Amino acid sequence: MNNRRKLVIALGAGVLSAPFGSFAQQKGKVWRVGFLALTSGPDEFVEAFREQLRTLGYGEGSNLAIDYRWGAGKEERLPELAAELVRLKVDVIVTRTTIVAAAAKRGTGTIPIVMASSADPVGAGLIASLARPGGNVTGVALNSTETVGKRLQLLRELVPKSTRIATLVWGKSLTKQLFLEEVRAAARQMGITLILQEANTPEAIKSAFGVMQRERAQALIVPTAPFISNNRKLILELAEKHRLPAMFEMREIVDEGGLMSYGPSYIEMHRRAAYYVDRILKGTKPADLPVELPTKFELAINGKTAKALGLTIPQLLLISADKIIE
C-alpha cells in the first residue's frame, strides 16, 4: 500500500471513526434518503446498509424514510430515476456502482451523493481526488482494477496449466478501459493469451461463451459490473456447461456456485456508506469527507465447484482462503 493510499484511508477513518447511537436533531425531523441502484430490488448489501443506519440511531418509520429506485438492469432508466429522487427532495442519495453515481451527479449538483461502491471515481470524473473529493459526491470507492493482477494470479494458481484465459466485460462500463489496461498488463507479464469478450445483453453473453469455446479458453475472469451481477445466474450456468473455471470479484457469486473470488467485502462497504450518510445528515459537507478505500479483501473458493471441474485446490490457496465452500 502506497503512502498516499494510507493517508486517504487514515483520513477517512478519522472522519468516520465513532458510531453515533443518539444525536441532536430537529424535533420530529424525518430524514429522507434516496437509494439508487441498477439491481432489481433489495439484497444483503442493502440490508447491511439499513442495519448500520439502525445502529447509528436511525429508525425507518420514525426519523428515517428510504426511497428506493431500482433500475432492474436498464441503465437508460437511471436519469429518470435520479430525477425522481431529486423531485422528492431527499436529503442524500446513496448509489451503487460508477454508472449509477454518474447518473445521480448529472441529476443534481446540490443534493449530497454517497457512493456505496464505485470503481475509479476520479477517472470517471465523479470526484476531484480521494482525499479532497470536492463537489457533492463522496463515499466508498473500489480499487478493483488494481487487484486485477492478483485475481489473475490466483486463478492461475488454481488452474496452473491455463495459458488462454477469457474475460467477459460489460461493454457500457465506465471503467472498462481501465480494467482492460490492467488485465492486459498482468496477462503479458504472466505469458497469458487473453480472449476478450464484451456483452450488453443476455444473448451476447451466450454468444461470448461460444467464442470462448472456439478459442479454446481454459479459464475465465469476470470483473464486477451491474450487468454482470444481474446476469450472474446465466454466467454461472454457462461456465458450468462449458466447464470453464471462473474468477469473480464478489464473494456472493461463489456462494451461488462460482469457482472463486477475490475482492473487497461489499457488505462492509455498504456499512461504511451508512457512516457517510450519518455524517452528512449531521451537517458535514460531502466535499469535506475523504473517499474511503476498502481495507478488507476476501478470497473465497467453492470446493464443490472445483471438484466438479476436476481441480485440486493447492494447499497454499486453502490456507490463504477466507472462505472455502464445501
Give residue-wise pLDDT tens across range 5-21.
Answer: 433 443 444 444 444 33
**Residue 172 phi, psi dihedral angles, 5° rounding:** -95, 5
> Which residues, 6 or more positions from 179, have their beta carbon under 8 angstroms from its beta carbon?
144, 145, 148, 169, 173, 223
Kindly indicate the confidence band of residue 326, based on its pLDDT and cuts at 50, 70 and 90.
confident
Give residue-wise pLDDT tens across range 233-284.
Answer: 999 999 999 999 999 999 999 999 999 999 999 999 999 999 999 999 999 9
Give residue-wise pLDDT tens across range 13-46.
Answer: 444 444 433 344 455 799 999 999 998 889 999 9
Alpha-carbon span 92 to 323, nearest angstrom = 35
Look at the block and give the residue holding cell 436511525.
58
pLDDT at residue 145 is higher than 80: no
Q: What pLDDT is stored for residue 146 in this prediction?
A: 67
Domain 145-263+298-325: CATH superfamily is Response regulator (3.40.50.2300)
Give residue-wise pLDDT tens across range 83-110.
Answer: 999 999 999 999 999 999 999 999 999 9
Percentage above 70 pLDDT, the chain = 90
Percentage above 90 pLDDT, the chain = 76
The CATH class of 3-143+265-295 is alpha beta
Cα atoms in the Cβ-side hemisphere of radius 13 Å centred on 282: 19
Q: Where in the chain is the domain with CATH 3.40.50.2300?
A: 3-143+265-295, 145-263+298-325
pTM, 2 dp: 0.84
